Structure 1
Amino acid sequence: MKEILMFYRDDCGYCDMAFKALEELESIHPEYAEIPFRKIEETQDPAYADKFDYYATPTFYVGGDKIFEAHIGLKYELMKDEVEKVLKTAAEG
């Protein structure tokens, strides 16, 4: 398994969708809860966040590789699909 690093913002609606998707997917696949996961609220640690190449939140890295970065207009079902890809990538490590 590889660690997931997620950058998010407390005031981000897309981040809320990602957290909802994570919760849903972990309830269906409890093994996802075993994946090492670090969540960074970018406004609370901007110096650390600035070291990474992303523009929008949420953004997910797995093992140092950017796997998904949100974009404007993203609907929940697509967000859930992308979050599941992140989880599967980390689980396959």
Structure 2
Amino acid sequence: MKKTELFYLKNCPYCKQAIRWMNELKADPKYADIQIKMIEESEEAAYADAHDYYYVPTFFIDDVKVHEGAATKEQIEEVLNKSL
């Protein structure tokens, strides 16, 4: 599995939706083993600041940004597929 990280803010409605879809998709055995490190950017500001992004939610796979900003369920699924 690839190193997958999600940068989010706990009060962001787009992040909440992305996390709901991510958890829903991870119920599928195909995605169940994917480990996603979740970084709440206001709580881990120094780590978040070391990454090049502006909008949340943002996904990085192996330190490469693969999605930034509001997402559709299909885009979340695409991120999970890239994480396999």
Identify the TM-score tier after normalising by the shorter chain.
Answer: over 0.9
User: Do structure 1's residue 86 and structure 2's residue 79 form an aligned pair?
Assistant: yes
Quote the offset at 1:30 in angstroms.
2.0
Gaps of 5+ in 1: 72-77
Sequence identity percentage: 39
Aligned equivalents of 2:18 and 2:29: distance in 1? 17
Deviation >6 Å, runs of 4+: none
Secondary structure, aligned partner of 1:30: coil
Q: Distance in 2 between matches of 1:33 and 1:69?
A: 23
2:19 aligns with 19
TM-score by length of 1: 0.84
CA distance in 2, matches of 1:63, 1:47: 19
CA distance in 2, matches of 1:40, 1:18: 14
TM-score (norm 2): 0.92
Greater gyration radius: 1
Q: Per-residue displacement from partner, 1:33-59 (whole Å, max 9, x unpaired)?
A: 211210000000101100000001100
Query: What is the root-mean-square deviation of aligned Cα atoms in Å?
Result: 1.2
Structure-2 separation of matches of 1:18 and 1:30: 19
Q: How many pairs align?
A: 84
| 8 Å CA contact 1:9, 1:41 repeated in 2 | yes
